Amino acid sequence: MTMSTSSTDPARATEPKRERGRLRVAAIMTAGVEVFTEKGYDAATMTEIAARSGTAIGSLYRFFPTKEALADALLLQYAQQVKNGLTELKQQVPGMTLERVADAFVDMMLLLRSQRSFAIALMDARGGSADERKRFRKVMRGGVADILCEAIPALPAAKAKVMSVVLIHMLKAVVGIADEESSVRAALLAEMRQLVRMYLVSAAPQSGE
């Protein structure tokens, strides 16, 4: 269905050719993340995103021809960050114990937390196109599965895939827990950390009975 060449991606609008445009787009995306996070996809308004980014509404629409397009772009950006995080993590895996790998997953989530809240908002609230959401999931799962394989060499690919899904759900829980009242947050995070470690360790050949 999609047209051939990559430059006319329906999700993204005109490529920012000039420096000014790039800055503008960056400002818009920042504002977009903010507003979507605060209000959720539906309650967020293009007008507010424009205002917060100091952009005229017309200009915003030049770069992102649709609210959905903006959401998609934001999701894509987040996906990229996750991808980068996963790639980086993957390279560090060789010298790490499984426990450290588990912690690294959790830390990565916490690092991306602010963005992640918004991503959840968009994913769960049907913001952005279903396609984009699917693509995002795929990238995420693939990356995590890769790391798992790296960390647990004996892990069959199929098992890695299954584990990645479960693991990602647990990492989602990490974000949710990080939003809890601060009085119990520390204890909850520690518990989650422990659980994630346990999960990974349990999958390693020598420990699984």
Partner DNA sequence: TATGAATGAGGGTTCATTCAT
Partner DNA sequence: CATGAATGAACCCTCATTCAT
Between the alpha carbon of residue 26 and those of residues 57, 74, 128, 161, the distances in Å are 15, 10, 18, 34
Site string for its own copies, 65-104 (x = CB under 8 A): ----------------------------------------
| Residue 27 interacting partner from its own copies, DNA, none (CB closer than 5 to 8 Å by kind) | none
Say how far apart CA 136 and CA 163 lie, in whole Å. Answer: 17
Q: Is 12 in the site for DNA (CB under 7 A)?
A: no
Q: Which of residues 133-192 bind its own copies (CB under 8 A)?
A: 158, 161-163, 165-166, 169-170, 172-173, 176-177, 180, 184, 187-188, 191-192
CB of 39 to DNA, least distance (A): 9
Q: What is the contact mask toward DNA in residues 49 to 78, using x (rule: CB under 7 A)? A: ------xxxxx-xxx-xxxx----------
Q: Are 121 and 145 in contact (CB under 8 A)?
A: no
Structure tokens at 188: 């909850």
Select from 65, 47, 64 the least CA-distant residue to 56. Answer: 47
Residue 54 phi/psi, 5-degree rounding, is: 65, 30
What's the chain's length in residues?
Answer: 209
3-state secondary structure of 50: helix
8 binds DNA (CB under 7 A): no
Q: Which two tokens mark 14?
A: 């005109």
Q: Which stretch binds its own copies (CB under 8 A): 16-24, 72-80, 123-131, 146-154?
A: 123-131
The listed partner (its own copies, DNA, none) that binds 58, CB under 5 to 8 Å by sort, is DNA
Is position 21 an interface residue for DNA (rule: CB under 7 A)?
A: yes
